Structure 1
Amino acid sequence: MSGRYRQHAYAPGRSLLCRWEYVQGAEASPALVLPDACVDLLWDGERLRIAGPDTRAQYARIAPGRRISGLRFAPGTATRWLGVPLHVLADQRVDLRDLGIARLATLADRMTERDADAMVWLADRILLDAPARDAAMQAVHARLSCVQPASVAQLARDLGITERTLLRRCDEAFGYGPKLLARILRLQRFLHRRHDDTTRMEAALDAGYYDAAQLAGDTRRLTGLTPTQLVAQVAR
């Protein structure tokens, strides 16, 4: 990563995970953005955009010296604040004004009236105004975050809904179904474990992969890279 990234985390259980800032370095090399089951609000000093849930890695092209500020929603919470099902925003970066929702357009307009405290002000608004988190979708995310996640059938039975209803609600809350969500969370676990004092294969097994082939398959589908290439990119 050629830029400088820093973040301020919020207390667990809130609708926002963190506020962050990224300043691009002197090089204009693209910044790798990995799918993580989260949605971010992006502010560049002029436009307030929503970064929808990514189904695969993307590269953000940011001009040298440019500053981007962000707010990261906890998984499954952005749809309740936006009032928009997340599957319509998957893999997109959309100006909040273009969603056609008056209160969101007003917020975007008010951001331009503020100065350096714009994202702090917006975060405070979201933390006060966001609807309560969806307990069922919280449970789905927690169950799929496990090293041995529950099956779609088991999740539906435990929630007392049909598999079709579970798929629809996951599409709305996360932007995609539970199987893709589980794969994304598993890859994130692997990347977190790579910092431990373990081999890459040990990190993969700890994250829930059966073998190197499964890790390679997920990495290729979600990022277009090999595990070696991915680890090298993330380590920059």
Structure 2
Amino acid sequence: MSGRYRQLDLAPGQPLLCRWDYVQGAQAAPALVLPDACVDLLWDGARLSIAGPDTHAQYAHIAPARRLQGLRFAPAAAARWLGVPLHALADQRVDLRDIGRPRLSALGERLAEREDDAMAWLAERILSDTPPRDRAMQAVHARLSRTQPASVAQLARDLGLTERTLLRQCDEAFGYGPKLLARILRLQRFLQHRHRHATLLGAALDAGYYDAAQLAGDARRLTGLTPTQLIAQVAD
């Protein structure tokens, strides 16, 4: 990563996971953004936008020395605050004014009127007016975050839903279905566990992959990179 990234974690159990701040370096190298089952609000000092759920890696092009601030929503919280199903925002970066919700349209202008406390003010507003998250979708995220996640059929049975209903609710809450959500969470576990192991295979097994080939397949589909290339990119 060519810029400076800082993150402030917020209290667990809230609609927001963290606030973050990114300042691009002197060289305008694209920043790799990996799918992580999260949705962020982005503020560049003039424009407030929503980064929808990514189904694959993207590269953010940020001008040299440009500052970008963000708020990251907890799983399934963004759809509740926006009032929009997240599958409509998958792989997109959308100005909040274009969402079509009057209560959101003026937030960018109000942020521009504020100075250093802008994101703190917005975070407080989100924490105060976001409806409670859907417990079923919280359970889905928790179950799929395990090293040995439940199958879609088992999830549906445990929640008292049909598989079709579970797919629809996941599309609305996360932006995609439970199978893709499980793959994204597994790749994130691999990246988090990589420092614990001397080999990529050890990290892959710890994250829940059957073997190196399954890891390579997920890495290729989700990022377009080999596991070795992905580790090198993340380490930059």
Secondary structure at the aligned position of 1:59 is classed as: strand
Letter in 2 for 1:58: Q
Letter in 2 for 1:208: G
1:96-175 superposed matches below 5 A: 96-175=96-175
Question: 1:128 Cα shift?
Answer: 1.0
1:8-157 superposed matches below 5 A: 8-157=8-157
Question: 1:108 Cα shift?
Answer: 2.0
Question: 1:30 Cα shift?
Answer: 0.2
Question: 1:217 Cα shift?
Answer: 0.3
Query: Bigger CA drift: 117-126 or 192-201?
Result: 192-201
**What's the % identity of the aligned pairs?**
78
Letter in 2 for 1:4: R
Letter in 2 for 1:184: I
Deviations 1:165-194 (A, max 9, x none): 000000000000000000000000000001
1:233 is aligned to 2:233: yes
TM-score (norm 2): 0.99
1:193 is aligned to 2:190: no
Question: 1:127 Cα shift?
Answer: 0.8
For 2:7 and 2:184, the matched residues in 1 are separated by 22
Query: Bigger CA drift: 195-204 or 85-94?
Result: 195-204
Count of residue pairs the alignment pairs up: 236
Task: Give unpaired runs (5+ residues) of structure 1.
Answer: none
For 1:73 and 1:85, the matched residues in 2 are separated by 14
8 Å contact kept, 2:35–2:55:
yes
Letter in 1 for 2:59: Y
Letter in 1 for 2:109: D
8 Å contact kept, 2:21–2:70:
yes
Question: 1:106 Cα shift?
Answer: 2.0
Question: 1:142 Cα shift?
Answer: 0.3
For 1:42 and 1:157, the matched residues in 2 are separated by 37
Secondary structure at the aligned position of 1:169 is classed as: helix
Letter in 2 for 1:224: G
Secondary structure at the aligned position of 1:46 is classed as: coil
Letter in 1 for 2:188: Q
Deviations 1:13-69 (A, max 9, x none): 110000000000011100000000000000000000000000000000000000000
Secondary structure at the aligned position of 2:59 is classed as: strand
Partner residue in 2 for 1:6:
6
Partner residue in 2 for 1:207:
207
For 1:197 and 1:208, the matched residues in 2 are separated by 14
For 1:122 and 1:20, the matched residues in 2 are separated by 13
TM-score (norm 1): 0.99
Partner residue in 2 for 1:224:
224
Letter in 2 for 1:130: T
Secondary structure at the aligned position of 1:194 is classed as: helix
8 Å contact kept, 2:17–2:73:
yes
For 1:108 and 1:31, the matched residues in 2 are separated by 24
Secondary structure at the aligned position of 1:195 is classed as: helix
Letter in 1 for 2:45: G
Question: 1:198 Cα shift?
Answer: 3.3
Secondary structure at the aligned position of 2:72 is classed as: strand
Secondary structure at the aligned position of 1:55 is classed as: coil
Letter in 2 for 1:232: A
For 1:197 and 1:177, the matched residues in 2 are separated by 31
Letter in 1 for 2:220: R
Task: Give unpaired runs (5+ residues) of structure 2.
Answer: none
